[in-house]
Structure 1
Amino acid sequence: MNTFAQIHGRAPEGEWAAPGRVNLIGEHTDYNLGFVLPIALPQTVRAQARRRDDGLLRLHSTRGDGTVVEVAVADLAPGGVTGWAGYPAAVVWALCEAGHEVGGAALSLGSDVPTGAGLSSSAALECAVALAYNDLYGLGLSAPELALIAQRAENAFVGVPCGIMDQMASMCCRAGAALHLDSRDLAMRQVPVDLAGAGLALLVLDTRVKHDLGDGAYAALRAGCERAAGLLGLPALRDLGPADLPSALAQLPDELRPLVRHVVTENERVAEAVTHLDAGDLAALGPILTAGHASLRDDYRVSCPETDLAVSTAVAAGAHGARITGGGFGGSVIALVNATAAESVAAEVATAFREAGYATPRTLTAVPAEGARRIA
């Protein structure tokens, strides 16, 4: 593998890392300004970077074919850079659009976050670049401010209308904790999650069914939720309480009712999960995970046969609960298991996949890790 100096001519000024994430509960509520509960993964995107004074952004990925993408910062515009390079370019564009005086940089990017698995590899990439630029150009932006820059990059430059959860999780999560985040005002609290102390493990089962949130399905879900909020006269669906759900559903067309039901009940599941975590009853998260999956499958309809099989098999094999995590339409399932049963649950899921003719799922163990940081 080429070193940074071989690729860019000089050694880097620093190295930054930003993690992927899994969301324990609260899927698809962040763009409704609701509540989420993610943890950061030990897997990260790493950015080696050096400031350039010629106005050029020079990008290299260790996952690619060695190609270096070069573009003038002054020429950055939505749609102008595509593929993996579009994400770091988008961050630089968003910083410029926000009025920050930034110029060129040389960036070499490496990652062990699985792509297309619903583990927020794109947000990790954005946040690593945002943090690097924050230091290289002395911007003094806070972690939430950088998360908002990264979200703007993905929304307006890449074209994915995501909420703020992924970027906030990558920037703000802490080791040993889940981030209880209010997506409206970005109020947050670190909720301790001691899986090992409870004798538990959180399996991540990557079904290897790739999803692309830019393909229109995700945007259609968001548009449906926004339409429903408008019909109900609400700023966002998070403003609809569970007591008012039945009457609200009666006012909506059939196609919007399941979306609204999912958002309202998912916000309630987040609150319930936090209560159990605060009480130290981590095993009680299990039924909440499974109920969340049923809602994502039946009401939000973002599951698929592979994720449904992973959930049902894990639960039948002894998991306390399981659910899809990420945007859906494939990706990964998380399963809360006794630590001593992690290997057997993973093996049962692999067997079920083989018997169904599916690709063997990839498995990793999620440990609540530290958010974005400078590492060198």
Structure 2
Amino acid sequence: MIHPVDEVVASAPGRVNLIGEHLDYNGGRCLPIALPQRTTARVALRDDGRLVVTSPDGDATAYVAGVRDALGIESGLDVALSSAVPVGSGLSSSAALECSVAVALDELLGLGLDREALLAACLRAETEHVGAPTGGLDQSAAMLCTEETALLLDFATGSREPVPFAPEAAALHLLVIDTRVRHSHVDGGYGDRRSECARAAELLGVEHLALAGPDAPDRLDGTLAARVRHVVSEQARVDELVAAVRSADWTAVGTAMTASHVSLRDDFEVSCRELDAVVDAALAAGALGARMTGGGFGGSAIALTADPDSVRSAVSSAFAAQGWEPPAYLDGHASGPARLE
């Protein structure tokens, strides 16, 4: 095979999910945006067949090996990674890594694959090679989102629909707050929720839990009823928020965001005290809405606000009062997908 280039550099974004948390693996709808913060992969061929991965953020070899294997590549590779997406922040650092490597390998080896094939390879890398039971939201966002646009993903039908998302036009900002409480999809909590949802769907006799209907929680008891209540109510909130964004009703957008957090906290039980503190402080500082984003058990929250400085000050003060490590703040402007650099 003739390789047209010796080295390729590609990057892919982190993401936040505006609404629709834990719905991808339940056949529901989600609304992510890509973030300005990106992971960059510099990839070159090696003659000795070895895979050598360097990263300042810890050992990423399993993720890179997963992408290489999913693409059917046997060549040796040098892969140098750098990232502005904080690891374990709930902003899909792993998907950004996978997608940057996939785009680079496609170019380096002249594979000629489209975005759908690369996306599928990245998802296989994470679920099969790394063993993280993710649902596809993160890789879809990193590969397909575009500037000033959210992507409405329907995991029951496979449909994707762009939704213009530019709160800046209304003098609003989406602020991302990293609690610095690290989480992982490989540990038990995320997998436990997936198992609970699968069990609930089985008991209800539905293929996709998100389509079970508003009366579904009444047909179950205890923990499973609570999990189903989150899933079916979150599905409705996705539609509410999308309609509000399209009509530029930013107050309604904020209301749906906050209601989502309450559901994730109380019914799905994936929040933590730091995420709750962010949401409470942001709302007290005048944010239109705030919620955790990502799988939960740590990670990040988002706040929709006209005054990001006041939200930063309020959240930082709340963390200081508890003696917690100061949070980090990131710009939540809707940005573009994985690309060659």
Q: TM-score, normalised by structure 2?
A: 0.95
Partner Cα distance (1:63, 1:156) in 2: 22
Decide which of 24, 37, 58 is 1:30's aligned counterpart. Answer: 24
Counterpart residue number, 2:145: 173
Partner Cα distance (1:143, 1:186) in 2: 14
2:312 aligned with 1:310: no
Counterpart residue number, 1:51: 45
Q: Residues 95 and 102 of structure 1 are in contact (CA less than 8 Å); yes or no, is this contact kept in structure 2? A: no
Partner Cα distance (1:144, 1:361) in 2: 35
Deviations 1:11-48 (A, max 9, x none): 95221000000110011000112110000011111011
Deviations 1:169-220 (A, max 9, x none): 0010001100111123432111111121111001111111111221111111
Partner Cα distance (1:235, 1:267) in 2: 15
Q: Residues 11 and 39 of structure 2 are in contact (CA less than 8 Å); yes or no, is this contact kept in structure 1? A: yes
Partner Cα distance (1:356, 1:106) in 2: 44
Q: Residues 156 and 208 of structure 2 are in contact (CA less than 8 Å); yes or no, is this contact kept in structure 1? A: no
Partner Cα distance (1:154, 1:326) in 2: 16
Partner Cα distance (1:285, 1:293) in 2: 13
What are the equivalent positions in structure 2 for 1:1-376 lying under 5 Å apart? 13-63=7-57, 83-96=59-72, 102-241=74-213, 245-246=214-215, 248-338=216-306, 341-375=307-341
One-letter identity of the residue aligned with 2:183: H
Counterpart residue number, 1:75: none
Q: How far is 1:56 from its partner?
A: 2.6
Q: How far is 1:149 from its partner?
A: 1.2
SS at match of 2:38: strand
Q: How far is 1:350 from its partner?
A: 0.4
Gap runs ≥5 in structure 1: 1-10, 65-82
Q: TM-score, normalised by structure 1?
A: 0.86
Partner Cα distance (2:235, 2:42) in 1: 38
Q: Residues 36 and 331 of structure 2 are in contact (CA less than 8 Å); yes or no, is this contact kept in structure 1? A: no
Partner Cα distance (1:109, 1:350) in 2: 31
Identity, % of aligned pairs? 48
Q: How far is 1:54 from its partner?
A: 4.1
Deviations 1:237-263 (A, max 9, x none): 12213xxx32x2233232201111111
Q: Residues 6 and 108 of structure 2 are in contact (CA less than 8 Å); yes or no, is this contact kept in structure 1? A: no
SS at match of 1:229: helix
SS at match of 2:222: coil
Give the direction of change, closer, same or farther, for the CA distance of 1:357–1:183 in structure 2 (3 Å limit).
same
Q: Residues 172 and 304 of structure 2 are in contact (CA less than 8 Å); yes or no, is this contact kept in structure 1? A: yes
Partner Cα distance (1:335, 1:36) in 2: 17
Q: Residues 62 and 108 of structure 1 are in contact (CA less than 8 Å); yes or no, is this contact kept in structure 2? A: no
Partner Cα distance (2:311, 2:267) in 1: 27
Partner Cα distance (2:48, 2:154) in 1: 41
Q: Residues 144 and 172 of structure 1 are in contact (CA less than 8 Å); yes or no, is this contact kept in structure 2? A: no
CA RMSD of superposed structures (Å): 1.5
One-letter identity of the residue aligned with 1:332: S
Deviations 1:214-241 (A, max 9, x none): 1111111001101110111111212213
SS at match of 2:71: helix
Partner Cα distance (1:91, 1:252) in 2: 40
Q: How far is 1:145 from its partner?
A: 2.2
Partner Cα distance (2:35, 2:61) in 1: 23
Deviations 1:300-339 (A, max 9, x none): 000111110110110011000000011100111100000x
One-letter identity of the residue aligned with 2:10: W
Q: Residues 117 and 332 of structure 1 are in contact (CA less than 8 Å); yes or no, is this contact kept in structure 2? A: yes
Partner Cα distance (2:57, 2:218) in 1: 50
